[in-house]
Structure 1
Amino acid sequence: LLPLRERIRAFSKAPVPSTVADKDGDEQDIAGWAGMLRAARHGKLIVFAAGNENNYNVPMHSATLPYLFPDVLDRYLIVANLTPDDELHVTSTSCGHTASYCVSAPGTDIYSAAGNFISRTGGPITEAALNLGELTEEPDYREETGTSMAAPHVTGAAAVLMQRFPYMTAEQISTVLKTTASDLGAPGIDNRFGWGKINLKEAIDGPGMFITAADIPPEHYVPGSYTNTQFVANIPGVGGVLDAGTPLERQCSGPECALDIWRNDIGGHGGLTKEGAGTLVMTGSNTYAGPTLVNQGRLTINGSVTSDVSVQGEGIIGGSGTLGSLTVRRGGTVAPGNSVGTLNVAGDVSFAPGSRYVVEVGTDGQSDKLQSHGAAMIGGGEVAVTLENHNNLLTQNEVFTLHGQQYTILDAQQGVSGRFDSVMPNYLFLGTGLGYQWDKVLLNVGRNNTSFASVAQTPNERAVASAANTLAPGHPVYESILHSRTAEEARQAFRQLSGQVHADVASALMNDSRYLRDTLNGRLRQAEGLVGSPAIRANEDGAWVQLVRAWSHATGNSNATGYRASACGVLTGVDTAVNEWRLGVATGYTRSSLHGASGSEADSDNYHLAVYGNHQSGKLGIRGGVSHTWHRIDTKRTVNYGIQADHDTARYSAHTGQLFAEAGYSIRGSRLNLEPFASLTYAEFRNNSIAENGGAAALRGGKQHKNATVSTLGLRADKKWQLNQGMTVAFRSELGWQRLYGDRKRGVKLRFTGTDAQFKVNSVPASRDGMVLKAGAEATVNRNVTISLEYSGLLSQSYQDNRLNAGLSWRF
């Protein structure tokens, strides 16, 4: 055999013809053997039919190649033919001396593709006719029997497993097929059936055995085979590269590349090595004798393994099952449970310097735990505390508090020796410490000295944080902030909880009060015979109407977020001359809408009532009025930070009162009419109690008020031109400086449910100074048709208000 082996080895290393002659002149298919050897050594699985030699105990000579090259045995599978009754068919060759790499599969009366030669010329079916090209093959199907019908079952099963386990090698697929086969004949591996009948249902749940030479009966063992004692599960993660730098290099793309589950009970004398960044979960009762080495990624034991488990490098061991023993070396991590859970160890547990024990603490009083029936030897390492991925706390009225809790994280029946080097809470507001008893390690969790407000960066954040810090342990808002890992997470919570929309809507409605007084002043100027607002439509009896459509924007600053607002509606009134005065009354309805940050919104239905009047003394005009507006406010806001979420709504009433006066001096010129003016306004906003509906983040607020005094100094200019054919064009403009007196802050006091501690959250502050700008034009096409366009704006550092009115009037 030695010369034959050398000739096959030589041919396997270079291109060769399909057949060669040996030294005696006999042709042997050495080239074919060499090709199979080459394929096997490049990671291919070779599946052979055993042959059809009427139960002869020696399979086809090609199937014996592993005897010459035992290193490829685990990539060879020989297949015997079974009847429907799971008996070896009378024509099938037995597994014989290939039993250690032989399986059985159905191969009797298999409906299979076949073909028959037919003559193109109508002549006889002969080899000569075939060579002359006179024959063709007619495709057909028919029942066939033989190991060539059995082998495709194994090939197909292997293909299914290669898709099921995309990270496995050819030899591992072979191992899964062999070790999950249904035993036939004599128990274990035998001459007739080999490993038994392939069982794909079992195979898709993983290996049934980790094979070493000790698992092969001596009479079937091929010397030099089954030398690998560890089954390497290299689960690289989605996108990971397997067999890099070889002809089999490929990218692992299925979900099993990130997480796979083996459900079989695995035996054998071999062991398991976990490599790759992915996760392997084992749920069976595993009795394999070799060690379990976790070098990379996570191995989760939810069943049991009787072997000794060692974790090192970048490996993680977890789950809620049972281990034989546990050694955590430098770089290795223990993380019991699948979330919070207990990992049991039948023997001893040891931690080396540089090891890590990750303890997850739940919101129900439970924590991760190592339960050892042996002793625990702690030679250092770190305990890292994390919080369970809990549910949304804001949907609850009261939750379990972490403050002041104590957990048993390691329990060793035969005692604990040594200490961990450190404990890391991994949380901003939680402090942790370890306690040691004779047979236990305890974890104490409580508040540290970091206050909520100390990580806030803005006045609004500090106000919310200070109020939240007064909440009792167990309050969902308090506990949710307690879970913050970083300062930015905490600040996001403060911003989301602030309820700034209530301050925003109050500020916006105070700003909107200018629409009513501007309309009334414009109407009075119109009645004085000056060029008034072209958007105000009035008849000769003093009745008038104006449509309102406006947009405004407040720019956020380092404390408060900005918002966008709009208003639309109609204002109407009637006025008349009374001696030297003109007096009137006005009413109307507008609707204001506001959109703030983080999905907060507010709408207000506004109902207006005002009295106004003016007195003209020569060129001096005095105008003024008083108004009251009733608001029905609806707010809604969405709270989102981390996995916390709440949706809070409120409906409450408010009102705005204002008193305004203006003096203007009319200067009429041949080319342009001017009016320098000065105005003064006092406005006050009051809201009734605020009570949000929602979850634990819902806010409350009492009755509050705020006021503003505003002056404006400016100049108006207008001009009217009479054109041909009765057409007139009028132009009106205004430029002014607006000044705000007093406090610029626009805030509201709120509180969380369950506490009396209020916090004040501010909207964007009002601008101290601003520019008032108006421009309008009106064209009378004829006595019946008038076209008008008007712009009005208030421009300041943090607030911009713009109105645009276009109109077409047709009298008939």
Structure 2
Amino acid sequence: MYSMKNGLKLLALTTALVVPSLIYLQNAHANSPSADEEYHADWGLDMINALPAYLKGYTGKGIVVAVIDSGLDINHPEYAGRVSPYLFNFGNDQDTNNVFPGIDDDGSFSGHGDHVAGTIGAGRNGFGMQGVAYDSILMPLRAIGIEGRNEDWVPDNQALIYAANNGAKVINGSYGPNTYPNKILPDGAINNNYAVLDYQPVFESIYQLKQTYHAMKHAADKDVVMVFAAGNSRLDQPGEYTEMPLGSGMYPLITRDYINNGKIRLVDIQADSFDPDDPNSYDFTDLNDPALDGLDFSDLKGSLIVVVSVDRHGNLAPYTNECGDAAEWCIAAPGGSMYVNEEDGIYSTWPQGDPTNNYLNYKYLQGTSMASPHVAGAAAVVRSAFPYMNARQTIETILTTTTKAGFADQDKFGQGLLNLGAAIDGPMAFRYTGVFDVDTKGYSSIWSNSISGIGDLTKRGDGILVLNGQNTYQGPTNIVGGSLEVNGSITSTTHVSQTGQLAGSGTVADLTLAQGGKVSPGSTLKPEQAIGTLTVNANFDQQAGSAYLAGLSANAGADQIIVNGTAQLNDQASLELVRQGAGRGSAAARYTLMTASGGVSGTYGSLNGSLISDTPFINFSLDYDANHVFLDSSRSDVAFADIADTHNQFATATALESQGEGGALYDHMLFLNEQEARQAYDQLSGEAYASIQSSLINNSAYTRSATYDQLSRGFAKGLRTSETYQSQPNFWAHGFGEWSKQSGNSNAAATKTSLGGFLSGIDMQAFDNWRWGVMAGYSHMNFRLNERMSSGKSDDYTIGTYAGTETSLAQGTLAFRSGLAYSWHNIDMNRNVAFAGFDDKLTADYKAGTFQIYGELGYKHQANEKIAIEPYANLAYVHLQTDAFTEKDRNGAALNVHKSSMDTVLSSIGLRVSAELNQEVIPVKARADIAWRHAFADVTPVSKAQFAGADAFAINGTTIGRNTALISAGLDFQLEKNALLGISYQGQFGSGITQNGVNAKLNIKF
């Protein structure tokens, strides 16, 4: 079948829908704010108020926009990484995957598609310009200005179907039929047959019309937003011809009745005399033609937007068609003017390498082709802001949020000027019934605009929809799923049923809760506003099977419903108490849950909810009078200690109970559930003050180890000769570092420590066969109890003395080694207490001291010239004492910690082995030591403390390992005759402790 459609669309790219401007070399825009030239490169972004959308994070991210046009330079840097793999060429001149624009006879590129695509979605990348939806995905479909592959289907209709089938959520169609008759003929001659028509001729057969309709209907059924340019016919046809859009944008007007009224007339393009530039040759389709029966495309209404063009000053562009009878789905957007000044046009992308564009990547153009992609980009942004909205709801949101001031003439501007910043705040009108049946699909969404209109609202599906505006729409509000939060107002009736919930702190009119429906005042999105007052500005009817979810917060009180009418309560309805936050509360209180000026009738059949099951320390009951429903609370018989699981929790809970009502911590316990209460006990206990005692006693081993080792070396022969040096003074320095973890148990948490320090001393011969010496040292320990959010440090200073002797016995040597030492500890502690409704930061600095006396007996035996073994046993008494102190707090959780002491006895039995490895350049001796250590007497540290106004309580810390294995291994290097360097590893394992350390020692004999 013969068609003019493709040929006319090719001309549309150059004359009808695009008014080209002069080429402009873009450097920095002189009039653009230096802060963001990229945004201001297209002045249309400011005109459509795009910035608020971007500031809220809405950029069209991931939304696929199909661009049915002349093709696309997919390698243009503005589209990097955002071209859909479903691009397609419908022309017969290139491969299907080659969508590069065609090249005209004069060498110019058909860059219309690039310009349109750039306005929609050029990237925000720091250069050039940006599109409206700069994070969208572009699907280029080359279908305009080409010869198609399928004679039965025109390419643009194929492209509509293809886009809908391959994931497009928005389609832009900046194409349409050309304007006839023209004043000037293509050869430049004056058209003597020119006339201004009082109708719009349609140069398509009924078959072609229906084909286009079916393609558009397919896209509509696939939930695609279609956006079409209105056409640029007004310069040639300034009359009734252009008082409505041209092409696909006017299709919803096509009905038998509309054709009969003569506003559009179907031209038989098969007539022999047909000349599109001579209206006298037009042969119109007979209105009695049976082919017109059933011709009705009005169901396309609501599936598309048609766009007219305005200049940068908001004036209707001189070339653009008007909205006219299509005003219901028509909108105005920036498209540029007719003037020569390039910056009056729209600046956007152009195919790279076009010699007729001075090889520039951007260009200015004007036309409704430039206006339409502003709306298509906006549709992508709106769909990213409201991903649950269907195409019809997206279209209505765009059409009802336009700027009216200066654009109120619907015949020209339709619904007004596109306002993206308003559109991302939700619709402003429900113009039809049944359109906003909204399934939020699990999303949380906020509509801040005030909504008017004759329509209704149905909220279904999981998720939360918030209405913040003062809404006056006339239809009912039905909530059948998820939550509708009203923080503004609704003036129509509200009905809640099935799994729906009404929330918020706003005002509704008549409210009915049916089977399954719930009402819950306060915010569902903002925890700090969870407690609220919902006003019913008429009557409230709570029917059987419905529930009032009354939130209660220890800090903020309780939810309330104020009814400016009557409240009817069915005895099969329930009131469910919901805990909306712990905090400082009072056991005995009365809360007003409902006030009805017209009276309360009936009572609730049940009182239940999470607040009752989750608040073991409080009892609740309901009370009524003629106009109110009250909730009364009182202290239950459950003591704080009744829910404790461990000794420390029990002790802390008992102390908290003793503080009594009015005490800061007591009052914070009242509204905790069992798990939160146990967590609070653990955080408040101050367990770290007990556990650090174990760490300090464990660290005392480094002093003993260093002196045992030094006394052993002091009697040893040098590695270079057999000469002994017992008579000479001996200076030594011993460095150590270790990392340890003492596992927790069912009562106390694990403790992690790291320690680094040194000891140094000097010893000499005393009496005939004794060595005696003195030592001093410093160490620094970091420790933490992650489960108790406690950490700290200790700076330790040690002094001591030691002595030892060796005596030959049988085949070996009997050795005795001993010492005593004292360490001062300056301790800094940091604790964070955080549980539901409470937090505090606590610090303390205090002092402690460790005294120890110790001795060891060993028997050395030389197995051969190289290897010596020594079984040994040692015993140590360690006394630790900590000072009393008071923590510094912010919110009342400080502990007054009592003075404490700990006496621990440590015994070890082990075996040492040494072997000389080399007597050459640097003599080396290897050492190894393995022992079993047993701890007794005080092995579980105890810290006694009390809260302000409470009884004292005792907390146990991490237990010292009762039975552990001690392992060490190292090498001694005889650097000089009188100098020895030793490096070793030292570890402790068992009874839940894991300790690894590295030691280094320097020994110099004078």
TM-score category (smaller protein): 0.7 to 0.9
Does 2:783 correspond to 1:594? Answer: yes
Does 2:551 correspond to 1:360? Answer: yes
In 1, the alpha carbon distance for the partners of 2:315 and 2:771 equals 116
In 2, the alpha carbon distance for the partners of 1:527 and 1:140 equals 91
State whether residues 181 and 195 of structure 1, in contact with CA within 8 Å, keep that contact through their aligned partners in structure 2: no
1:494 corresponds to: 681
Match among 799, 803, 827 for residue 613 of structure 1: 803
In 1, the alpha carbon distance for the partners of 2:333 and 2:973 equals 97
Letter in 1 for 2:547: R
State whether residues 310 and 337 of structure 2, in contact with CA within 8 Å, keep that contact through their aligned partners in structure 1: no
Does 2:549 correspond to 1:549? Answer: no
Does 2:472 correspond to 1:287? Answer: yes
State whether residues 102 and 193 of structure 1, in contact with CA within 8 Å, keep that contact through their aligned partners in structure 2: no
In 2, the alpha carbon distance for the partners of 1:63 and 1:360 equals 50
Does 2:905 correspond to 1:709? Answer: yes
Letter in 2 for 1:515: Y
Does 2:900 correspond to 1:681? Answer: no
Deviations 1:489-510 (A, max 9, x none): 3333333333222222211111
Does 2:839 correspond to 1:653? Answer: no
Post-superposition offset of 1:545: 2.1
Query: Percent sequence identity over matched residues?
Result: 28
Letter in 1 for 2:828: D
Alignment of 1:475-624 (within 5 A): 475-485=663-673, 487-529=674-716, 540-551=727-738, 552-565=740-753, 566-578=755-767, 582-598=771-787, 600-614=790-804, 619=809, 621-624=815-818
Count of paired positions: 715
Cα 1:576–1:194 shift into 2, 3 Å: closer
State whether residues 690 and 955 of structure 2, in contact with CA within 8 Å, keep that contact through their aligned partners in structure 1: yes
2:431 corresponds to: 211
Post-superposition offset of 1:47: 4.8
In 2, the alpha carbon distance for the partners of 1:321 and 1:737 equals 73
* RMSD after superposition: 4.3
**Stretches of structure 2 lacking an aligned partner (at least 5 in a row):** 1-149, 156-202, 258-295, 339-343, 348-361, 524-528
In 2, the alpha carbon distance for the partners of 1:538 and 1:596 equals 47
Does 2:327 correspond to 1:74? Answer: no
Post-superposition offset of 1:436: 1.6
In 1, the alpha carbon distance for the partners of 2:369 and 2:970 equals 95
Relative to structure 2, which stretch is displaced further, 518-527 or 341-350? 518-527
Post-superposition offset of 1:459: 2.1
Post-superposition offset of 1:444: 2.3
Letter in 1 for 2:641: A
1:345 corresponds to: 536
2:494 corresponds to: 309
In 1, the alpha carbon distance for the partners of 2:978 and 2:661 equals 74
Letter in 2 for 1:499: G
SS of 2:503's equivalent in the other structure is: strand
Deviations 1:17-60 (A, max 9, x none): 569xxxxxx96244234423541452454657497565549857
Letter in 2 for 1:517: R
In 1, the alpha carbon distance for the partners of 2:667 and 2:991 equals 39
Cα 1:159–1:662 shift into 2, 3 Å: closer
In 1, the alpha carbon distance for the partners of 2:405 and 2:704 equals 99
Does 2:427 correspond to 1:231? Answer: no
2:41 corresponds to: none
SS of 1:547's equivalent in the other structure is: strand
Alignment of 1:631-670 (within 5 A): 631-642=825-836, 644-665=838-859
In 1, the alpha carbon distance for the partners of 2:863 and 2:375 equals 107
Cα 1:726–1:95 shift into 2, 3 Å: closer
Does 2:957 correspond to 1:763? Answer: yes
In 2, the alpha carbon distance for the partners of 1:422 and 1:633 equals 53
Post-superposition offset of 1:292: 0.2
Letter in 2 for 1:327: T
Does 2:209 correspond to 1:32? Answer: yes
In 2, the alpha carbon distance for the partners of 1:660 and 1:85 equals 95
SS of 1:470's equivalent in the other structure is: helix
Cα 1:387–1:30 shift into 2, 3 Å: same
SS of 1:574's equivalent in the other structure is: strand
1:276 corresponds to: 461
State whether residues 538 and 544 of structure 1, in contact with CA within 8 Å, keep that contact through their aligned partners in structure 2: no
SS of 1:764's equivalent in the other structure is: coil
1:778 corresponds to: 972
Post-superposition offset of 1:625: 3.2
Does 2:933 correspond to 1:745? Answer: no
In 2, the alpha carbon distance for the partners of 1:592 and 1:457 equals 32
Post-superposition offset of 1:103: 6.2
SS of 1:634's equivalent in the other structure is: strand
Alignment of 1:421-432 (within 5 A): 421-424=606-609, 425=611, 427-429=614-616, 430-432=618-620
2:595 corresponds to: 411
2:562 corresponds to: 371
Post-superposition offset of 1:344: 0.6
Could you tell me the TM-score, scaled by structure 1's length?
0.76
Does 2:666 correspond to 1:455? Answer: no
State whether residues 100 and 189 of structure 1, in contact with CA within 8 Å, keep that contact through their aligned partners in structure 2: no
Letter in 2 for 1:413: S
Post-superposition offset of 1:687: 0.5
Alignment of 1:101-180 (within 5 A): 109-110=337-338, 161-162=382-383, 165-176=386-397, 179-180=400-401
Cα 1:290–1:611 shift into 2, 3 Å: same
In 1, the alpha carbon distance for the partners of 2:508 and 2:911 equals 89
Letter in 2 for 1:370: I
2:33 corresponds to: none
Cα 1:385–1:94 shift into 2, 3 Å: same
Match among 259, 272, 284 for residue 445 of structure 2: 259
**Stretches of structure 1 lacking an aligned partner (at least 5 in a row):** 1-13, 20-25, 115-138, 213-227, 239-257, 394-399
Cα 1:65–1:705 shift into 2, 3 Å: same
Post-superposition offset of 1:560: 2.0
Does 2:898 correspond to 1:699? Answer: no
State whether residues 230 and 273 of structure 1, in contact with CA within 8 Å, keep that contact through their aligned partners in structure 2: no
In 1, the alpha carbon distance for the partners of 2:382 and 2:309 equals 21
Cα 1:101–1:628 shift into 2, 3 Å: closer
Match among 484, 509, 522 for residue 299 of structure 1: 484
Does 2:632 correspond to 1:444? Answer: yes
Post-superposition offset of 1:567: 3.6
Letter in 1 for 2:445: L
State whether residues 184 and 196 of structure 1, in contact with CA within 8 Å, keep that contact through their aligned partners in structure 2: no
Deviations 1:83-134 (A, max 9, x none): 99999999998877666656677899555689xxxxxxxxxxxxxxxxxxxx
1:3 corresponds to: none
Letter in 2 for 1:573: I
State whether residues 252 and 300 of structure 2, in contact with CA within 8 Å, keep that contact through their aligned partners in structure 1: no
Cα 1:791–1:305 shift into 2, 3 Å: closer
Post-superposition offset of 1:412: 0.9
Post-superposition offset of 1:466: 2.8
In 1, the alpha carbon distance for the partners of 2:959 and 2:366 equals 89
Does 2:817 correspond to 1:628? Answer: no
